[in-house]
């Protein structure tokens, strides 16, 4: 369960994520024409990662060219390795899973 400080941090992060993906009035920070990872969001828990990943997918629906992946436990690493073979612009990850994938030279 998130405490008050975590909730405030989550709201701040969430507002910044909206700007990164769908802010059409200003310079968008993610360039969908580049086929590289452009943002990595590290989260301390899988639950927070799932929430942020869900919001990112919602915001990315306004710009379907942007690809988002969540990398944390609870899903098979094999499926995550398959997704990483395609274009991914934004990664939401827990440190352990991210390090595991870096060690496997998948990122």
pLDDT digits (tens, 9 = 90+) for 8-26: 444 455 565 555 554 554 4
Whether 69 contacts 88, CB under 8 Å:
yes
User: Taking the CB of residue 31, how many other CB atoms lie within 10 A of it?
Assistant: 13
pLDDT digits (tens, 9 = 90+) for 86-104: 999 999 999 999 999 999 9
Is a pLDDT exceeding 80 seen at residue 30?
yes
């Amino acid at each position: 369960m998130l405490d008050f400080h975590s909730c405030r941090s989550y709201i701040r992060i969430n507002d910044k994520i909206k700007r990164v993906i769908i802010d059409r009035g200003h310079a968008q920070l993610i360039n969908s024409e580049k086929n590289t990872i452009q943002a990595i969001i590290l989260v301390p828990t899988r639950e927070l990662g799932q929430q942020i990943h869900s919001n990112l997918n919602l915001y990315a629906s306004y710009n379907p060219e942007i690809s988002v992946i969540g990398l944390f436990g609870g899903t098979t690493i094999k499926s995550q390795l398959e997704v990483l073979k395609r274009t991914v612009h934004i990664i939401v990850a827990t440190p352990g899973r991210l390090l595991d994938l870096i060690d496997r030279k998948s990122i």
